[in-house]
Structure 1
Amino acid sequence: MKRNPIIPFALIAIVGILAVIVISFVGVNQRDQIANGGESDESAVIEPETIYEASCLGCHGTDLSGGAGPALSAIGSELSLDEIKDIISNGTDGGMPAMSGTLSAEEIAAISEWLSEKK
């Protein structure tokens, strides 16, 4: 009796494809947890300093002193919380891009509150 050499390869391929599908579903569920540094969504704490470092530092400087964008070290004494939130969300004509497409509403609220305390 002669054995078909393709059957073992087909079985290995099917097992491999099933493994990839299972791993993909597991990975999708873990993506948010990994993005939050291992914390679950319910216990995720939004750190405004981290948001600033990732999204604002390039234009406003490491110490809020400005650069391509204006200084933010005393922005809370110049603008209200709502004005800061509006600028971050919608941008300005002078070059500040709208961050509503990049940051979540919770992140915008957190960084706006943090900046409004800079007086």
Structure 2
Amino acid sequence: MNKKLLTALFGTALVLGACGGGGGDEGTDTGGGDNGGGSTSQEQAGGDVDTQAAEQAYEQSCASCHGGDLTGAVGPNLTQVGSKYSADEIADIIKNGKGQMPAQGGNVENVENLANWLAAKK
């Protein structure tokens, strides 16, 4: 009975952790370039990337399953995800989910920025 209870609690924690929280617009930099707030903007293979915003979005919504260092935990390793998927494909996976990964919310700019950042991981 204890194993079943622990399994149910762990499963619930995973589902809740996968939901992330990144539905808001806080920390969004849509102007491009350095806005004096410490953001760094880089040109990546998929387009302009606000690295600081992408890392923050990853920490808030992805790290619980994919690990703080992208090496995977419950979710797969993302250290070389850009060699397997394009930025558009990554954005589609974030928006719609894939396999055990549920669809994630968030505004389009944040998803595209995060997808471009991940696409550069090759």
TM-score, normalised to structure 1, is 0.60
CA distance in 2, matches of 1:77, 1:48: 18
Structure with greater helix share of residues = 1
Partner of 2:107: 104
Partner of 1:118: 121
Structure with greater strand share of residues = 2
Q: Is residue 86 of structure 1 aligned with residue 92 of structure 2?
A: yes
More relative contact order, 1 or 2 (CA 8 Å, 6+ apart)? 2
Structure 1 residues 104, 70: CA separation in 2 closer, same or farther (over 3 Å shift)? same
CA distance in 2, matches of 1:78, 1:36: 28
Q: Aligned-residue CA RMSD in angstroms? A: 2.7
Q: Is residue 77 of structure 1 aligned with residue 83 of structure 2?
A: yes
Percent identical pairs in the alignment equals 41
CA-to-aligned-CA distance 1:15-47 (integer Å, 9 cap, x gap)? xxxxxxxxxxxxxxxxx89x449x9x8669651
**Stretches (4+) displaced over 4 A:** 41-46
What's the CA shift for 1:103? 1.0
Structure 1 residues 36, 112: CA separation in 2 closer, same or farther (over 3 Å shift)? closer
What's the CA shift for 1:117? 0.1
SS of match in other structure, 2:82? helix
Bigger radius of gyration among the two: 1
Q: Is residue 56 of structure 1 aligned with residue 62 of structure 2?
A: yes
**Structure 2 stretches lacking a partner, 5+ long:** 1-23, 40-49
